[in-house]
Amino acid sequence: MCQLLSMNCNTPTDIVFSFEGFRRRGGLTDEHADGFGIAFFEGKGVRLFRDDKPSAHSPVADLVRQYQIKSTNVIAHIRKATQGQVNLANTHPFERELWGQYWVFAHNGNLENFHFSHAEYFNPVGETDSEQAFCFILEQLRQKYPTRPNNQAIFQEVKMLSEKIRAYGTFNFILSNGDWMMAHCSTNLHYIVRKAPFGEAHLIDEDMSIDFNKETTPNDQVAVIATLPLTLNETWTPFAKNTLLLFQNGQPIHL
């Protein structure tokens, strides 16, 4: 399987601390060594780094640490291949343009026999079940809404599509268009919202601590979503199974 990490904030924030723990699971503290990827929204643009090398040892992952990119929406993924070869075309996150915005998607799980026939708008390039599912979601959204509807309509449609797709297997995913982030849990996903008063956090996968008081301002609000908790001394909230949540400005929004 794979693991997911994502972040949604009300102010551009760097993900270095979380990513340092997460990347060690790609070949060092865990077995997810079949490539990794991380996408940063910056304004309307997306900076997308992918590598078919293990994240623990990738020079691309080293760059992410050095560069300290600040973003309000970040999606990262480390891969343990279940379907499709280990190559770049099969490496998450995937990206497409819909309604004049970039959309980014990463998936943890395995869908059995999930195929859809030739689509009008969005076709997969690689061989993964994950990219198929992403294209299917965008295709249905685009077929139903030729122009962009409001967030509530998008959320309801993605929720309905998630229900359909998870009938084929495990379907934990993160999806963002840069304005918000949707996270769907079919089996395993956790989140934490960090806001004032900030405390100290210690990574599980590396002997590394951070005092968020020193890194933040009192108005900052940051939601971090991950397959498994990344820190020892904070309380992560497990998603209820088979739920889709929308995060905006660093917190879950109830629609």
Catalytic machinery residues = 2
Q: What does DSSP assign to residue 99?
A: T
Residue 19 and residue 67 in contact, taking contact as beta carbons nearer than 8 Å: no
Judged by CB under 8 A, does residue 218 bind a second copy? no
Q: DSSP string of 217-250?
A: -TT-EEEEEESS--BSSS-PEEPPTTEEEEEETT
Least distance (Å) between residue 54 CB and a second copy: 15
The correct pick among 30, 31, 42, 206 for binding a second copy (CB under 8 A) is 42
Q: Among 32, 50, 166, 194, indicate the residue that binds a second copy (CB under 8 A).
A: 50
Please report whether residue 63 would count as binding a second copy according to CB under 8 A: yes
Q: Which stretch binds a second copy (CB under 8 A): 6-14, 100-108, 230-238, 242-250?
A: 100-108
Rounded distance, CA 78 to CA 225, Å? 14
- The residue among 48, 8, 41, 47 whose CA lies nearest residue 178 is 41
Piece of the chain touching a second copy by CB under 8 A; list 4-12, 18-26, 44-52, 104-112: 44-52
Tell me if 122 contacts a second copy by CB under 8 A.
yes
User: Of the ranges 19-27, 92-100, 203-211, 229-237, which one interacts with a second copy (CB under 8 A)?
Assistant: 92-100
H-helix or E-strand containing 42?
Answer: strand 36-42
Q: Is 143 in the site for a second copy (CB under 8 A)?
A: no
Among 11, 12, 16, 47, binds a second copy (CB under 8 A): 47
Tell me the C-alpha to C-alpha distance, in Å, between residue 78 and each of 33, 118, 186: 7, 29, 18
Size of the site for a second copy (CB under 8 A): 34
Work out whether 102 is an interface residue with a second copy (CB under 8 A). yes
Question: If 0-12 CB within 10 Å is exposed, 13-18 middle and 19+ buried, where does residue 167 land?
Answer: exposed
Q: Which is nearer to a second copy, 93 or 252 (CB)?
A: 93
Between CA 174 and CA 212 the distance in angstroms is 25
Dihedral of CA 29/32/37/41: which sign? Answer: negative
Query: By the criterion CB under 8 A, which residues form the site for a second copy?
Result: 42-50, 59-60, 63, 66-67, 87-91, 95-97, 99-102, 118, 121-126, 147
